[in-house]
Amino acid sequence: MSELSVVSGKSSENLAKELSKTIKANFVKSEIRVFPDGESKITLIGKLSKKKSIVVQSIYPPVDTNLVQALSLITKAKENSSEVIAVIPYMGYARQDREFLPGEIVTMNVLGKLFKSAGASKIIIVDIHSLIGLKYFTIKTKNVTAIPDLVEYFKKLSLKNPLVVSPDQGGKERAKEFAKEFNSDYIALEKTRDKKTGKVKIKTKNLAEVENRDLILVDDMISTGGSIIKATQFLKKQKCKRIYVACTHALLMNDAENKIKKAGVTSIISTNTIPGKTSKVDISKTIAKAIM
């Protein structure tokens, strides 16, 4: 039996399969039965390594269900393996990394305790929304980026004088890193977001440098697509050519994909941290490097 096992959660089955092939590990599948009251019953199919198990489970919607399943898989793996690495490609709750308004619970602090109690000795995350959240974990953590993988995909496209764009100042470093790998220029728009309503406004004025160019809007995650839609509407007024979206995590809630396309985006390209129609970039090799 292999000294490595990859334990697949239902939310990341395809990614886990690719990872197990890459690192030549024994693949352990999970079967889920959901009771009428919403409880999950998990059964593992396959043998766990006594040495090291790698649990792969993204925590996307339904977030709480996928979180409990991740913790359950880690607990079961720890019963059999001396070491358990938790690969959480998309870490839900990462936006709740501080008390923005009085009385708010810092949920990342809760998660830090839960993953340690479940038995994980190390956590690997892909492009976490905020690195601040990792300070609540007392076990080893590693955040890896999918930017090089996304760039490789975009290099294969025939783009006209491409320009990398961040939809806000918070993503400026991400756009800079993407542009450096892609060998192009980049800019970052200025936006404001109401903390209570979540409403987004673009503050940037006219941008002559986007005219007649293909643009790549780069973000770490797309939830409802509000920021991307506002940015696209603004950039279209600046007479740009095609607009592509590159993101690691495509949640695409509330029909976001159609709304984004309707705003004028040619294509959305995301990774398989969250499976879906847009997840065209595999990041199993990047995760494998972080494990080995």
pLDDT in tens, 70-104: 999 999 999 999 999 999 999 999 999 999 889 99
Question: Letter for the amino acid at 57?
Answer: Q
| Residue 78 in domain | yes
* Host domain of residue 253: 147-272
Q: What is the pLDDT of residues 234-291, one digit of tens each?
A: 999 998 999 999 999 999 999 999 999 999 999 999 999 999 999 999 999 999 999 9
The two most distant CA atoms of the chain are separated, in Å, by 62
| Residue 277 in domain | no
Total-model pTM: 0.92
What pLDDT score was predicted for residue 2? 66
The reply to whether 262 and 187 lie within a common domain is: yes
d(CA 83, CA 268) in angstroms, rounded, equals 37
Q: Dihedral sign, CA of 247, 253, 258, 261? A: negative
| Residue 213 in domain | yes
Known catalytic residues are 191
The reply to whether 104 and 191 lie within a common domain is: no
Q: What is the pLDDT of residues 43-61, one digit of tens each?
A: 999 999 999 999 999 999 9
| Residue 23 in domain | yes
Number of independent structural domains in the chain: 2
Query: CA 262, 264, 266, 272: dihedral to nearest 10 degrees?
Result: -60
The reply to whether 101 and 196 lie within a common domain is: no
Query: At 70, which CATH number?
Result: 3.40.50.2020
